[in-house]
Amino acid sequence: MSSEPLLSVRGVHRRFRTGPTVVHALRGVSFDVAAGSMVALVGRSGSGKTTLLNVIGGLDRPDAGTVHVDGSDVTALDEDGLSRLRREKVSYVFQSFGLIPVLSAAENVAAPLRMARVAPTERERRVELLLELVGLAD
């Protein structure tokens, strides 16, 4: 087993410009997260939690610094690479869930598996298993 951290954030800065004002949302953020660990990011409203998570998941790019997820440099990925990262490595449960309302629970779970081209039988197996895990099989 490798001793490399699963997530490595180094010197990340992110500034937002709204007209004449500049908000420095992240100022040189650095930390590591080991595989299998559970981390809570805590801070008052506006302290940059969402900004940091967006940068880690490749939804936003930092102005400076690097983010490595499972060995690959997220900050160096092009749009295709970022799409692959979001499909295969990083998942979010958003505050507003982001479900597709016209689809059933099973179809919502299956949607990212379809995009990842998981074969239908394997897809069905995983949908059933995952819904069972969270008590939604019925």
Ligand X SMILES: Nc1ncnc2c1ncn2[C@@H]1O[C@H](COP(=O)(O)OP(=O)(O)OP(=O)(O)O)[C@@H](O)[C@H]1O
By the rule CB under 6 A, 8 interacts with ligand X = no
Residue 40 CB, shortest distance to ligand X, in Å, is 13
Cβ-based nearer residue to ligand X, 50 or 72: 50
Binds ligand X by CB under 6 A, chosen from 10, 50, 64, 70:
50
Binds ligand X by CB under 6 A, chosen from 6, 10, 13, 49:
49
Q: How far is CA 138 from CA 108, 122, 125, 129, 132, in A?
A: 15, 19, 15, 12, 8
CA pair distance 123, 29, nearest whole angstrom? 38
Length of the chain: 138
By the rule CB under 5 A, 50 interacts with Mg ion = yes
By the rule CB under 5 A, 54 interacts with Mg ion = no
- Provide the token pair at 12: 């990340």
Q: How far is CA 54 from CA 14, 101, 131, in A?
A: 11, 24, 27
Residues lying near ligand X in the complex (CB under 6 A) are found at 16, 18, 23, 25, 43, 45-51
